[in-house]
A and B are shown apart, each in its own frame.
Chain A
């Protein structure tokens, strides 16, 4: 491959300057527009019930209150279009979780909101709440959702598990549980809507998927898509939490703006954000795995129940991804997997970095370690013998022709961590501070895969200006992860290695950029990047022709590198050719669509080409467990990731470090509690505990590059993966340290002590 000028270098982020100087404008920072109104959500006080009446007269008379909007005011459909179309904007007949929006108070000033919200009287006849998926799955359980309480049952049927287990020398079983995880992005959800003179609506906000929001607003208002402009403001973290959720609340804010004819802003407090928005699904898994004495896996069964909350929202997709990832990155001939997404009377769970996979990776990797114990085999060796390599076939029957860097991540991670030595040292640790070391190997299907085939395409455009500066547009978004840098570098490289300083990304507005599909599933680099690469090559070919004329050689022989068109010793700067093209009326803009390569899925057997490509990783955690207090300290963490090609190595490291720390939170401290009355008990940063700078280990990011030929310069997506193996690797390290199996995340000190003591912790 040609040597790269820009891709592979750690250039400074284009958005960093505005952010360090406080000039970046997040939605709540937007200057107040004239006549701006403020919105406050009327929330259900109970987790389940029938709405008998909503009394708003007293609230309407509060000084400053302009309007109170309820479901029957919706001019279009009371619906947020997503997978099943079961998600309503405002509850009208029934409430299905505590905190569910019933209406919205609109006022001239924010202080009227609290007063008015307290005066709205919602008359609800409570229904018995189903808070556990096991209760909701019972055949005679009340239907929470009109679709029934089991949203999904995804399956894999491969080989014959009975004969597989019969062939096994050792069979291991385990049951595992994981809890909620809250995104805890630092910027709470904020949205603003403003009617336009032509009966349309403009919406601003921090979000991942402006085109989802556009569709929701058009549906709710009953207007055409081209009447809705959605503008993504600087987004203060998302992690999946701003994938589907902004659609619903944008619908509400737009509705309020529609009725009042004025601009309306909704900014959540942290407490409202935590009670109102999606979270990682809690899960319950039962695994059974069989191997020959040499460690070769012969059979695996898994049953997984995911607690989806009251509406399906993204659960069909989350549980499908969990299904594909259920059995890890291993060659297993006989597999049976059943994954259920089940309704409960709780806030809908949704997308969160990893999208259903951290739960099953935890379970699978724990059971793998238990198998290694039974086999008396080093757990990393057990994995080495089973991992997928180039040319192998996954449990869904997909052959992997390329870009399988898993073996190298394992090897590098083992080497850099000095695995064998540390494992031995851990075994010899005595006293009340027990050392342990654990690993996890895993894969991640990049992009939406077969389940999201319909929308897995990306459009993008590139325009070279007459002075050689460049503007590109995509509909995927920057939310902190570094997409703007990555795509800037891809464009700069694809235009012949020009300086990235010449390249600017257009602010994402649905009226000005193309729909590149959602910014989810670690797909922005490879999908938008590919669309941009195609657009760039179209422009570059035209420029090359002009350069060829100037250099008196055929266009095909013009070499473009370092931002210069070259023939022998003669060379012309990119900007000069741009200027000439402009003057000669050569078109300097291009628009391209990149369509995801084909995928397939058979719903009955769970066989097919699930994803176009996979990212791979190995995590190794070293911990120290204080056996008297139960406190776990993660001392060191090695994370080796096959990213295809690191477009910007510093950003890759940043994703690894950030994801690992989120994963440490998931593994060791983040615990969102639901009371018996269906309310969340700890919806703030004082009680929902995420890691601080004092809680982090030394993190060693290791970048492995096994190029993906279809990806831009070999890159494939990976942003979610750094979180995914942490729960598993840490749980394995803790199990190694204390000699007892960890079966539940998060691993709180109380749980560790409960494993040692007779007294057991009450169920969380």
Chain B
């Protein structure tokens, strides 16, 4: 197989078939090919988590994945998280608890927190800290992010 490769995948519920350079990164594909710029690049090496997306429901660093690795897989980005134009309870909690400052880590942080709550609906504070440890934030000191996740967990438990 030469440099180009055909990738058949699903992004935010939509099936996409494209022939691409084989070493195109998922982050490049999302940002440049699909214009999904909610996925941010903070380090491009898997050290900051800003580019986190869900791959088959699990958070991954999209800067560390070549497009052929996405073939026959499902990707959800920050743009695909809520229903059309609506915020999730988690996103709302981020706003209400003051968990957003510069916002650059926020999409990745929201994605990883969404996974955390799906896997563990009632996380302890320690489990939340573990769950978001792969996402650097330089503004908030994490405290309000933790509170937002706790609030969303409580909200989901009540519904």
Contacts and interface: CB of A to CB of B under 8 A. Distances in A.
B39 interface: yes
Interface in A655-712: 656-662, 684-686, 690, 692-694, 696, 699
Interface string B52-74: 00000000000000000000000
Nearest to A234: B103
B41 interface: yes
A20 B102 contact: no
A604 to B, nearest CB: 40
A657 B82 contact: no
Interface string A257-291: 00000000000011000000000000000000000
A653 B98 CA distance: 9
Contacts of B102: 185-187, 235-238, 479-480
B42 A13 contact: no
Contacts of B42: 186-188, 270, 685
A690 B138 contact: yes
Contacts of B128: 693
Given A239-B138, A658-B139, A20 B40 contact: no
B5 interface: no
Given A187-B102, A685-B48, A694-B129, A17 B143 contact: no
A205 to B, nearest CB: 14
Contacts of A686: 45, 47
B138 A185 contact: yes
Given A658-B101, A685-B48, A237 B138 contact: yes
Interface in B82-113: 82, 87, 91, 94-96, 98, 100-107, 110
Contacts of A692: 133, 136, 142
B136 A685 contact: yes
A19 interface: yes
Interface string B115-159: 000000000000011101101111111111110000000000000
A738 interface: no
B77 A22 contact: yes
Interface string A204-236: 000000000000000000000000000000111
B75 to A, nearest CB: 14
B99 to A, nearest CB: 8
Nearest to A188: B42
Interface string A62-77: 0000000000000000
A650 B145 CA distance: 13
Secondary structure of the B contact surface, majority rule: loop
A239 B104 CA distance: 14
B45 A657 contact: no
Contacts of A693: 128-129, 132-133, 135, 137, 142, 145-146
B78 interface: yes
B140 A236 contact: no
A23 B141 CA distance: 23
B7 interface: no
Contact of B44 (A269, A654, A659): A269
B40 A21 contact: no
A185 to B, nearest CB: 6
A20 B138 contact: no
Contacts of A24: 103
Contacts of A662: 138, 141
A12 interface: yes
Given A21-B38, A25-B37, A684-B45, 19 more contacts: A12-B96, A16-B95, A17-B87, A18-B103, A20-B110, A26-B104, A186-B102, A186-B105, A187-B40, A187-B104, A237-B101, A270-B48, A481-B101, A481-B139, A657-B140, A657-B142, A684-B43, A696-B129, A699-B143
5 smallest CB-CB distances across A and B, nearest first, come from: A22-B38, A480-B102, A19-B103, A236-B104, A22-B78
Interface of A: 10, 12-13, 15-26, 28-29, 31-32, 183-188, 234-239, 269-270, 479-482, 650-651, 653-654, 656-662, 684-686, 690, 692-694, 696, 699
20 contacts: A12-B95, A16-B94, A16-B103, A17-B95, A23-B38, A23-B79, A29-B37, A184-B138, A187-B104, A236-B103, A237-B138, A270-B45, A654-B139, A654-B140, A660-B141, A685-B48, A692-B136, A693-B137, A696-B141, A696-B142
